[in-house]
Structure 1
Amino acid sequence: MHPNQIFRETDSERNHTMLASAGFGALVVNGDDVPHVAHIPYHYDRVTGQVAFHLVRSNPIARVLAKSDGRATLIINGPHGYISPDWYGVDDQVPTWNYVAIHATGSVAVLPDDQLEPILNRLSDHFEADLLPKPIWKMSKLTEDVKIRMMRQIVPCVMQVDMIDGTWKLGQNKADAVRLAAAKQLRDSGDGSDPQQLADLMEQAT
């Protein structure tokens, strides 16, 4: 997280919204010598504060968690992009990178195998809903032997989130006119990850 508090938000509504909408992130768990990282699709339930996901059974994180529950951080990258100093319209500026990043931290556990199918259904229902009006894919479309074979390879997991920290670096340290000028140039350039959303956020920043 950025050390400048002007860019920081803790447990804000839009941190929760970004976590819920992203659906994909990097899970980081302490290892013996280096951190273990897994890139995971997930579903965040705002009511329960739980992140549901699954890991390949051979993943080092799954092996660590199978021995004992642990702490982890889920890292979400929101829109981000390069900001040229030429875009501000004033002198003596330097290049920078504006971005949104969310860190969700909590306790993680591997669940019993009988919880795997409900979690898989929860994940697929969540992501398939974005594809409507296409009929939602269901696990019932799989033959039983294929389903069993696939499910043997993965383990169900859940993170109970107890802290959500966010960096929303959107040029809040700049004068309004300067920040808005950069947002317009970013929008016109089309550069970066989702420049339109990042430009929107820069225009809304205070």
Structure 2
Amino acid sequence: MHPALPFRVSDEAVLLDHLAGFPFSTIAASVDGRAVVAHAPVIARRLAEGLVLDFHLSRGNALSPALAEGFHAVAVSLATEAYVSPDWYENRDRVPTWNYVSVEVEGPVTALDEAGLVALLDDLSALEEARLLPKKPWTRNKMSPGKFEGMLKGIVGARMTVMRLEGVTKLSQNKPEADRLGVISALGDHPIARRMRDLG
């Protein structure tokens, strides 16, 4: 998490919108003293016991065996990023940097049971298929009988209990307007430039 306060985002609604829009995340944990990383789409859910982050992994993933006992992890969703050249600033006494938008989620991770895993997969598919409209949504009912259940054996479901939810929106907002406008102009139609324009 970037230490500079102007870039920090704590508004839960904004952070959850980010995760819904950019669900594919990096999950990092320490297992038996070794740093392990996995990549998975996540779904944030509000349950009676609080906010959770559900995801699934291949059974062959290095994190999967650790689910039996549970582990502590950090999930990071990076929306978009861009290199920023000092040549784009009006003030030439600057150094290169990166602008980016990201969210970090931290907490203990435990295994989901099979019913929870199936619900996760159905919900995840529904969310992603909705982005493809007007295409008729895919559902597992389109699969041959027994095929989904067979493939289900190759993955495990996981649930992170959210203890920390924070974001970074680093879009040159600490720079003078002339420098910001220079970056926006140079980046053109890049998603970071669009975000900078939206930020005002």
Whether the TM-score (by the shorter chain) exceeds 0.5 is: yes
More strand per residue: 2
Alignment match of 2:64 (pick from 51, 62, 65) = 62
Read off the aligned partner of 1:104 and give its amino acid letter.
Answer: V
Aligned to 2:151: 150
Structure 1 residues 118 and 27: alpha-carbon distance in aligned structure 2, compared to 1, 3 A threshold: same
- Equivalent pairs counted in the alignment come to 198
Percent identity of equivalent pairs: 35
After superposition, give the CA deviation of every residue in 1:131-185 in whole Å (9 maximum; x if it has no partner): 1111111111112232222011111222222321112211122112221221121
Aligned to 2:29: 29
More helix per residue: 1
Gaps of 5+ in 2: none
Read off the aligned partner of 1:176 and give its amino acid letter.
Answer: E
Gaps of 5+ in 1: none
Q: What is the TM-score of this pair, normalised by structure 1? A: 0.87
CA RMSD of aligned residues (A): 1.9
Q: What is the TM-score of this pair, normalised by structure 2? A: 0.89
Q: Is the 8 A contact 1:20 1:45 kept in 2?
A: no
Deviation at 1:31, TM superposition (A): 1.2
After superposition, give the CA deviation of every residue in 1:46-92 in whole Å (9 maximum; x if it has no partner): 576222221112222111011x2322111111221111111112322
Q: Is the 8 A contact 2:76 2:105 kept in 1?
A: yes
Deviation at 1:204, TM superposition (A): 4.4
**Could you tell me how far apart the structure 2 residues matched to 1:122 and 1:9 are?**
27
Alignment match of 2:197 (pick from 192, 195, 203) = 203
